[in-house]
A and B are shown apart, each in its own frame.
Chain A
């Protein structure tokens, strides 16, 4: 929603540059990870996911990297566009559960 980004860390990037958004996850038993994008006034949208048996997965202009050693997840956006401006947050799913654990998010601001 509109107020989601008010208290979040903000990453500002120039249009055309690459963006890297980071997420530290909490549960070493998590085996599935997802990145979501939430634009102002909208619900979160799925961007990309990765299973714990992978280190890297690529989509269209997006790449997710998983480092299980330090429990770190990152989202890379290539050639960032104004439409990429949104709040991004990660989710981890502990093995055998229905419940996602969501990060609090990072606000990406694309500068023209």
Chain B
């Protein structure tokens, strides 16, 4: 069964900490994405990567950075966590080209205290 695996289901971090969220896919997909999901706001794109070492800002990149050193791994970094970054974070991947949908991970619920 093909998978997108997020390393943690739940995380609690303190304000100001540097936080790493890891995502690994085993489908050899070119494109990978990080979203956050908040009640009433839906899914909002933070960053995406269309190839190894390539990254592009999404709609809400402020306070975040990403790393894609290998095709299968896409990391989201919160440089200095703040309480307004408390959210559900979803990683997704897709094959390049038209007509391919996302495969999502199970999500990481991050609480910043």
A→B interface (CB under 8 Å): 1, 3-4, 6-8, 31-32, 34, 36, 41-46, 49, 51, 89, 91, 98-100, 102-105
Q: Tell me the minimal C-beta distance from B94 to chain A in angstroms.
A: 8
Chain B, interface size category, equals 20 to 34
Q: Chain A residues with Cβ under 8 A from B105's Cβ?
A: 43
Give Cα A43–Cα B101 distance, bound, in whole angstroms: 14
Q: Are A4 and B99 in contact (CB under 8 A)?
A: no
A-chain residues with CB within 8 Å of residue B37 when the two chains form the complex: 1, 4
Complex partner residue of B104 from A6, A8, A43, A103, CB under 8 angstroms = A43
* Given A43-B105, A44-B90: A102 and B42 interface contact (C-beta under 8 Å): yes
Shortest Cβ distance from residue A99 to the other chain B in the assembled complex, whole angstroms = 6
Task: Apart from A34-B101, A98-B31, list 8 A-B contacts with CB within 8 A.
Answer: A1-B109, A31-B98, A43-B92, A44-B102, A44-B104, A102-B43, A103-B42, A104-B41
Q: Which residues of B contact A36 (CB under 8 A)?
A: 104
Total A-B residue contacts, Cβ distance less than 8 Å: 61
> Measured between alpha carbons, how far is A6 from B98 in the docked complex, in Å?
33
9 shortest interchain CB distances as A-B pairs: A43-B104, A7-B40, A104-B42, A1-B88, A102-B43, A7-B39, A43-B106, A44-B104, A46-B101
Q: Are A99 and B39 in contact (CB under 8 A)?
A: no
Known: A45-B104, A49-B101, A104-B41. A98 touches B50 (CB 8 A): yes
A43:B50 contact, CB within 8 angstroms: no
B50 to chain A, nearest CB (A): 6
Contacts of B107 in A (CB 8 A): 1, 41-43
- On whether the beta carbons of A32 and B98 are closer than 8 Å, the reply is yes
Instruction: Report if B82 contacts A (CB, 8 A).
Output: no
